[in-house]
Amino acid sequence: PGKASGVTSLYFVEEGQRKTPSQEGLPLEHMAGDQCIQEDLLGLTFRISPHAFFQVNTPAAEACLLQFNE
């Protein structure tokens, strides 16, 4: 069922564990799948962990990368 839905990574966070707005240090339990997801943008490969911020809007992320490299 996970493969059919496209889910590649599953983590569990118990409700009420967040002590600050930041996700850094949030206790996570890896339940299934890959520990990181992988995204390819403009020939670069990114490994994204559960605590990372990553722009999910691919065109916007590509525009930021292009601007950063100028």
pLDDT at 50: 83
Indicate yes or no: pTM above 0.85. Answer: no
Rg (CA), the chain: 15
Q: What is the count of structural domains for the chain? A: 1
DSSP string, 11-57: EE--TT---SS--TT---EEEEE-SSEEEEETTEEEEE-TT------
pLDDT at 30: 92
Asked if residue 2 has pLDDT above 80, the reply is no
pLDDT at 31: 92
Closest CA to 37 of 47, 23, 51: 47
User: Which residues form the domain of 10?
Assistant: 2-68
4-60 pLDDT tens trace: 888 888 888 876 666 655 556 678 889 988 999 888 888 889 898 887 877 778 888
Instruction: Determine the Cα–Cα distance for residues 36 and 23; give it in Å rounded to an integer.
Output: 16
